[in-house]
Structure 1
Amino acid sequence: MRDPRTLVIIGTGMAGIGLARALRARDKDSRLILVSQDSGHDYAKPLLSTAFAKGMSARALARQTSVALVDELDAELRTHQRVTSIDTHARQVWLGEECLAYDELVLALGAAPRRPFPIDDSVGSRVMSINDLDDYAAFSATLTAAREAGESGRVVIVGAGLVGCEYANDLKAAGHEVTLVAAEDTPLDGLLPQALGRRLGKAFDAIGVRRLQGEMVETITAGKATQAPVSVVLQSGHAVEGSLVLLATGLAPRIKLAQGAGLSAGGDGIRVDRHLATSRPHVWALGDCASVEGVNAMYVQPLQAAARVLAANLCGEAVELDWKAWPVLVKTPALPIVAYPPRTAVARWDITGEGDDLDARALDANERLIGYALTGASVRRKVELARQAPPLLG
């Protein structure tokens, strides 16, 4: 009797675990091996940026421990393991000295935080990013220790994109002093036209988030004393101090491992077709690390759709990915926001409404809707506009 095939998934974020569940719903017999560089617990990443205000620990955020996940999936799980190389010809994955043979390999590597400026070695432990559950646990512990040492729990957030804005709102709601530093003049510059960004800025001002926008960071340093505050030095010459710094300066798809294995990859991610197949046979990719025909969508709904499609393809069906016009729901209770950023040139923004309730529609040169952004009560129009907007993957 032929041995069951071996499926190896590298990565246990929402993409990797979502795929594993979708696979097991179709395939009960294949050997399934999950490789994780962290604890391997199952959790919903979007909840991380709402958890401080709720007083939730990392343990409370975990829907399942790694042990329970193994039982559910009838899988093998290697935690705190880093894949060092992949041999696509021999179909082997190397974890240091250990070799895993595979029939099908899936790269669900996620994306890594960018660090676009120098950070002094002396402050490394207090300059952090939150990109997974382990990061959340470490940040929370560091913040708690600072407050117990008599500091005020002051947090400087660098970056006013989606992650920076969500954590600014959440940490402020949790009672911390928050300063938001960003090069852009308005929050969510990549998602919102400036008129709506200014409205979000006013909402942040109203809840007590201090904003230093239009400011570039030069470096991050600290004094020699153990509990000396961290200083974020700006190119303007000003500096802002905090107990710790949260970097929210964007994410870069993890592609180094794929490039080392000879797969086609670039700044947009590991390149895959609509079946989620890479440039090498029997190797697939999905989630934040993958670029589907040039589109990298680091949001929940595209990820979930990709997991279902890839599970079907791994089980012998020829299914192509079809991404709809899914908007981004921004978790900023100070001002509810929904946005579907345009992927082609905007001729003009048609903005209506007043106060917090704004409706902004991105139009092309032919006056066709190509994206939108909604704030306040206007977010109720998200489904209506999603039906009119072009799909994420055309």
Structure 2
Amino acid sequence: MSYPVVIVGSGLAGYNVARELRKLDAPAPLLVISRDHAGLYSKPMLSNALAGRKTAADLVMKPAEQMAVDLNARVLANTSVARIDTAARTLMLHNGEAVVYRDLVLALGADPIRLPLAGNAAHMVLAVNDLDDFHAFARALNGATGGLAVKRVAILGAGLLGCEFANDLLALGISPTVLDLAERALGRLLPPRSSAWLQSKLEAAGASFRFGVAATSVDHHASGHGLTLTLSDGGTIDADLVLSATGLRPRTALAAQAGLAVNRGVVVDRTLQASAAHVYAVGDLAEVEGLNLPFVMPIMQQARALAATLAGKPTPVNYPAMPVVVKTPACPTVVCPPAMGAQGQWRVTEDEDGLEAHFIGSAADQPLLGFALHGKATARRQALAAQVPAALPVIV
């Protein structure tokens, strides 16, 4: 009997590994296990779907049944894994079924980080991390949970998701208030002047920002309509809806229970193999040489490399310079941040049409280590990316 390649997770990472594998190995038995509906959709589209007037149903490109046909695979929807026995190469599902695998690919994704909020309405704070979350968020925006149309939205977090959702809400005529303990927008990705440029454009479009503060509690408003947020500085703001966008944490619990090495994500080598043979991790879950990159381009690099490995040709993943396109049409933005700990300084040029920031390395042979572009300057992303060293270079 030939045991299947089992992929746990039907998101961008899981389905792309399956697709790439099918290009290289058509007959291999394949099983995809998904804890949700297992339909194909693009998770990155969730943070700009409102502007396009997209519903959750609109975002599903193919249902699970069609994916099973396309991939010549068994697809188990609404199914979760209870435990993994790496020695026996067996999964135990919550429904009691035991699945023996040839190779196991963990593409479990990540969960939203939840702030420890107090208050009698803390349970009403929403987060958008999957299609069901987006459906609930869209219904709440339309007043389905309280009968009144939402006018005021507070967003907890001024990082990538917070800024993208703020921009998306503007398309509905909602002027969001973004709160963050940090000093500026996208502070982990952008240099100060670049961050200020993004903030100014979003503010001009109708968003507002408050930095150096965090929400500590969320309560029902005394009037009976809406919510009141109490802030860390003692102040309060009122909102109709609160969206948490404070980051994501890889879903490592199942891997840790199985005895796999776990740090921020599941620790894997350059072939994406975890600390047990025949077990691999991809996507938000994979930590490769200390890098945990929850973006589309790294996931695509991983999918192609892992598919080749699963098809019999061990292939290390490579990360070229991979600029991130921030989905903020009010301020077109592309960033290719320098590596953690890189030595150098930012040099910024700007005019009324755009801003261009270069991170110039201290070493003479490494002049450009990262960049941030806004407005018309985003047209230079490919030219600049070609000058930035690879995050994980090709192994020769």
Whether the TM-score (by the shorter chain) exceeds 0.5 is: yes
Deviations 1:189-235 (Å, cap 9, x if unpaired)? Answer: 1111111111111111111112222212222232588x632222211
For 2:273, what is the secondary structure of its paired residue?
Answer: coil
Partner of 1:388: 387
CA distance in 1, matches of 2:337, 2:77: 36
Partner of 1:297: 293
Q: Offset at 1:91? A: 0.9
Deviations 1:6-49 (Å, cap 9, x if unpaired)? Answer: 11111110000111111122222222111111111101112111
Task: Judge which range, 141-150 or 54-63, deviates more.
Answer: 141-150
For 1:294, what is the secondary structure of its paired residue?
Answer: coil
Q: Offset at 1:58? A: 0.7
Partner of 2:307: 311
CA distance in 2, matches of 1:232, 1:192: 28
Q: Offset at 1:353? A: 1.9
Given residue 105 of structure 1, which amino acid in structure 2 is its aligned partner? Answer: L
Deviations 1:231-267 (Å, cap 9, x if unpaired)? Answer: 2221111122222211110111111111110111112
Residues 11 and 37, structure 1, Cα contact 8 Å, conserved in 2? yes
> What is the RMSD of the two structures over their aligned residues, measured on CA atoms?
1.7
Residues 320 and 392, structure 2, Cα contact 8 Å, conserved in 1? yes
Partner of 1:59: 57
For 1:169, what is the secondary structure of its paired residue?
Answer: helix
CA distance in 2, matches of 1:224, 1:64: 45
Given residue 132 of structure 1, which amino acid in structure 2 is its aligned partner? Answer: D
Given residue 101 of structure 1, which amino acid in structure 2 is its aligned partner? Answer: V
Residues 295 and 393, structure 1, Cα contact 8 Å, conserved in 2? no
Given residue 98 of structure 1, which amino acid in structure 2 is its aligned partner? Answer: E
Q: Offset at 1:376? A: 0.8
CA distance in 1, matches of 2:149, 2:312: 58
Relative distance call for 1:231 and 1:79 in structure 2 (3 A) is farther
Given residue 371 of structure 1, which amino acid in structure 2 is its aligned partner? Answer: G
Deviations 1:104-133 (Å, cap 9, x if unpaired)? Answer: 100001111111322546442x31111111
Given residue 297 of structure 1, which amino acid in structure 2 is its aligned partner? Answer: L
Unaligned runs of at least 5 residues, structure 1: none
Partner of 1:240: 237
1:123-134 equivalent positions in 2, closer than 5 A: 123-124=122-123, 126-134=124-132
Residues 150 and 241, structure 2, Cα contact 8 Å, conserved in 1? no
Partner of 2:193: 195
1:357 partnered with 2:337: no
1:241-390 equivalent positions in 2, closer than 5 A: 241-267=238-264, 269-343=265-339, 344-366=341-363, 368-390=367-389
Partner of 1:28: 26
1:215 partnered with 2:213: yes
TM-score, normalized by length of structure 2? 0.94
CA distance in 2, matches of 1:26, 1:364: 40
Which residue among 142, 145, 156 is the counterpart of 1:144?
Answer: 142
Relative distance call for 1:224 and 1:284 in structure 2 (3 A) is farther
Residues 4 and 29, structure 1, Cα contact 8 Å, conserved in 2? no
For 1:257, what is the secondary structure of its paired residue?
Answer: helix
For 2:176, what is the secondary structure of its paired residue?
Answer: strand
Q: Offset at 1:346? A: 4.0
Partner of 2:4: 6
For 1:43, what is the secondary structure of its paired residue?
Answer: coil
Which residue among 130, 133, 136 is the counterpart of 1:135?
Answer: 133
Partner of 1:91: 89
Residues 39 and 134, structure 1, Cα contact 8 Å, conserved in 2? no
Relative distance call for 1:356 and 1:253 in structure 2 (3 A) is farther
Task: Judge which range, 70-79 or 164-173, deviates more.
Answer: 70-79
Residues 120 and 220, structure 2, Cα contact 8 Å, conserved in 1? no
TM-score, normalized by length of structure 1? 0.94
CA distance in 1, matches of 2:115, 2:317: 33
Relative distance call for 1:220 and 1:393 in structure 2 (3 A) is farther
Partner of 2:103: 104
Relative distance call for 1:67 and 1:121 in structure 2 (3 A) is farther
Residues 41 and 62, structure 2, Cα contact 8 Å, conserved in 1? yes
Residues 54 and 174, structure 1, Cα contact 8 Å, conserved in 2? no
Given residue 60 of structure 2, which amino acid in structure 1 is its aligned partner? Answer: A
CA distance in 1, matches of 2:120, 2:105: 35
Unaligned runs of at least 5 residues, structure 2: none
Deviations 1:159-212 (Å, cap 9, x if unpaired)? Answer: 011111011001111222311111122211111111111111111111111222
Task: Judge which range, 68-77 or 49-58, deviates more.
Answer: 68-77
Residues 308 and 314, structure 2, Cα contact 8 Å, conserved in 1? yes
Relative distance call for 1:388 and 1:221 in structure 2 (3 A) is same
CA distance in 2, matches of 1:65, 1:224: 44
CA distance in 2, matches of 1:230, 1:65: 37
CA distance in 1, matches of 2:26, 2:120: 49
Relative distance call for 1:364 and 1:375 in structure 2 (3 A) is same
CA distance in 1, matches of 2:391, 2:353: 27
Residues 346 and 362, structure 1, Cα contact 8 Å, conserved in 2? no
Task: Judge which range, 307-316 or 109-118, deviates more.
Answer: 109-118
Relative distance call for 1:234 and 1:19 in structure 2 (3 A) is same
Given residue 221 of structure 1, which amino acid in structure 2 is its aligned partner? Answer: D
Residues 34 and 80, structure 2, Cα contact 8 Å, conserved in 1? yes
Partner of 2:117: 118
CA distance in 1, matches of 2:199, 2:284: 28
CA distance in 2, matches of 1:18, 1:142: 32
